[in-house]
Amino acid sequence: MEIGVQRSYANEGVGAAIGASTVPGKLYLVGTPIGNLEDMTFRAVRILQEADLIAAEDTRQTRKLLTHFEITPKKLYSYHEHNKGASGPELVRLIIEGKNLALVSDAGLPAISDPGSDLVRLAIEQGIDVIPVPGANAALSALIVSGLPTERFQFIGFLPRDKKGRERAIRQFQSYEGTVLMYESPHRIIKTLQDLLEHLGNRRVVLARELTKRYEELARGTLEACLAWLAEHPPLGEYCIALEGIQAEELEEQQGLWWQELTIEQHVEHYEKEGLARKEAMKRTAADRGVSKRDIYNALL
Distance CA 103, CA 62 (A): 11
> Going by DSSP bridges, is the β-strand pair 101-104/153-158 parallel, antiparallel, or unpaired?
unpaired
Distance CA 39, CA 31 (A): 10
Helix (H, G, I), strand (E, B) or coil at 248: helix
User: Considering only CA atoms, which of 182, 118, 130, 133 is closest in space to residue 154?
Assistant: 182
140, exposed or middle or buried, with CB in 10 Å at 0-12, 13-18, 19+? middle
Note whether 9-136 and 139-249 share their fold. no
**pLDDT (0 to 100) of residue 13:** 57
> Going by DSSP bridges, is the β-strand pair 129-133/26-30 parallel, antiparallel, or unpaired?
parallel
The torsion angles phi and psi of 66, rounded to 5 degrees, stand at -65, -40
**pLDDT (0 to 100) of residue 134:** 97
Superfamily of 139-249 according to CATH: Tetrapyrrole methylase, C-terminal domain (3.30.950.10)
Q: pLDDT digit of tens for each residue in the chain (301 aa)? A: 566 778 775 455 554 444 445 699 999 999 999 999 999 999 999 999 999 999 999 999 999 999 999 999 999 999 999 999 999 999 999 999 999 999 999 999 999 989 999 999 999 999 999 999 999 999 999 999 999 999 999 999 999 999 889 988 998 999 899 999 999 999 999 999 999 999 999 999 999 999 999 999 999 999 999 999 999 999 999 999 999 999 877 777 666 667 788 899 999 998 888 888 998 988 888 888 888 888 898 888 8
Domain parsing of the chain, residue ranges: 9-136, 139-249, 259-299
295, exposed or middle or buried, with CB in 10 Å at 0-12, 13-18, 19+? middle
Q: CA-based angle 66:69:75, to the nearest 5?
A: 30
**pLDDT (0 to 100) of residue 260:** 80
Distance CA 254, CA 266 (A): 19
What is the CATH code of the structural domain delimited by 9-136?
3.40.1010.10
